[in-house]
A and B are shown apart, each in its own frame.
Chain A
């Protein structure tokens, strides 16, 4: 009961000194508003990243890649290249091909990996095989089947990309295409549909185009829907033939020897001709990708390009794989989806024991979370400094108030107030300043985050980026901020309240 009575008296005292109370509470308000706004921003960014991860299913996804060329004593890829293609050439040619091409590809690969952001997993977090020797380890359909049978694995899908020429009427574009299984496309949020739909069959000759690709063709999403486009796919043989001709020119062989070499190569590189397929445009979608999913300008069902000799100039991983596997059939990347119950680390270890490389997005997300934590801490320190300054204001106000109300304290003591009750009265007053300041600060912080969000959304819309909300005020942050403001105000009131409690009533009653 005394607490309620004191709360009434304290509120009356604060109301009587409105200006002083408001100015003191303003300090708390600014501190809390700054804290809430900054923490909302940090939480908003974190939430957006987490949502994107979730939409792409990355929390239950592992990327699996074949062992990198040159890794181990005698890499399978290099061996295949030598035995399948280069061995049939002249010895010197094979060597120069190996050193001149494969090495440059290897160094180019390493460089590209360093600079890649969302195309493919960064090199630093790709786990190299640690169990089996990389020899003869291939990420082919047999291996995919083996992965699919592993405990906890829900599905395994290859992800292939290749370069091609997209032809529509008189228009022709060089595009980077992507093939993905229909089931995978349906299970993930790969991007907002602008027109039509994604495909449901792996064998259907369908294509989903990016709006930008449609624009480059001089069409609009609605008019291109249902239209047939042609895809001319650059072949691996074509690439090797080009390399062979360059090497031949450098070797300066006698014309007869060169002609013989060309005959042999011609017989071996029979797949050098380009393939051309006709596809019906079934959808136009903002193929966003991100966080390990490099989405091309065009998406086709996995089965459409299964048997087609193709090469990607944009993905070094895939390019190496495509060049070094004579018969094709090996994938540069497989997406392994696992169930909620599966242990990602154990699964990762099991896959690596097969001699394959893996990349876990959970680890990447954890690293990002650590970054966010540092950001949160920095933001909190800034807010804390603002609140510490505000709490000094509370101390000052309370000390002034006690000096002015010394006689009143004496009167209350003469009427039977104990020291602890006087302390409680002043603690309630400082707590009320903190509570009001914190609540108003929370409202202001929320308002600022809404305004900030609105402005950023407008900017994003103008830039053509998806309109995401970059601020998120978690209820716990809101409650925590108010509780923290209140706690700090109470702490600020402890010393003045203790001083008030110690006041000698006889002296206080004489105080003018």
Chain B
């Protein structure tokens, strides 16, 4: 049996909005194996980004637990421990790239190591290597405004990967990109998963990475409504 990386049980996230209760997540159970490539699909407002934020340690559930193999229960962590979890275990890429506009590509990527206490020289060396790996070596000194959408997302991906996280969370990573560039990013994720990285991809694009993932869960109204596992795929992390 494959090693478990993460287990979420009975996750609820309730917001109060203008006196109304919004149940963004309403009892989600999820198990993630190390090396697995999980795709979460669903319409807007189905709760998939809320689930991703909870898995990323950016938010806390109103109810339920998230257990991470090496870090313990996220829901019971102190703010400092949760920040350390974000710094060490998990890399996140967003639809809007979320790069700091006044910093160069290299400076953005090295930020991924800042809160791990890595010395500056080491940070720059590793950031440059990661940008080279993603074919952005020539763009190190460019600011995000000087890069194309695809390049910006690759810089964001480099920033998430530079710390070598156990889990990569991608929230609509191709939402702002055209079809060709989307295919390029999907290919990159596939490649990373083949090298053993556990990935959770959140998308509303039903076709994106459909053939690459180990499992797809469908969400609606804050719940997982169905799950599909392509039969062609073997155990996670064992593909070549």
Contacts and interface: CB of A to CB of B under 8 A. Distances in A.
A414 B117 contact: no
B115 A416 contact: yes
A421 interface: yes
Contacts of A16: 102
Interface in B25-66: 53, 56, 58-59
Contacts of A74: none
A1 B115 contact: no
B117 A1 contact: yes
Contacts of B117: 1-2
A463 interface: no
B229 interface: no
Which bracket fits the contact residues of B? 20 to 34
A417 interface: yes
If over half of A's interface residues share one DSSP class (helix, strand or loop), that class is named, otherwise mixed; here it is: helix
Nearest to B80: A418
Contacts of A415: 86-87, 111-112, 114-115, 159
Nearest to B56: A414
A237 interface: no
Nearest to A510: B96
A509 B94 contact: yes
Contact of B98 (A13, A411, A417): A411
Interface string B109-131: 00110111101100000000000
Given A415-B86, A506-B58, A408 B115 contact: no
Nearest to B100: A408
Contact of A413 (B83, B99, B100, B116): B83
B98 A416 contact: no
Given A410-B98, A416-B86, A416-B87, A506 B53 contact: yes
A5 B107 CA distance: 12
A232 interface: no
A411 B86 contact: no
Nearest to B85: A416
Interface in B63-102: 79-80, 83-84, 86-88, 92, 94, 98-100, 102
A458 B122 CA distance: 61
A416 B160 CA distance: 11
A509 B98 contact: yes
B99 to A, nearest CB: 8
B79 A413 contact: no
Contacts of A12: 102
A414 B88 contact: no
14 contacts: A12-B102, A13-B102, A407-B98, A411-B98, A411-B111, A412-B111, A414-B92, A415-B86, A415-B87, A416-B84, A418-B83, A421-B115, A504-B59, A506-B53
Interface of A: 1-2, 5, 12-13, 16, 407-408, 410-419, 421, 504-506, 509
Given A411-B111, A415-B115, A505-B59, 20 more contacts: A2-B117, A5-B120, A13-B102, A16-B102, A410-B98, A411-B98, A411-B100, A414-B56, A414-B58, A415-B86, A415-B87, A415-B112, A416-B83, A416-B88, A416-B114, A417-B115, A418-B79, A506-B59, A509-B58, A509-B98
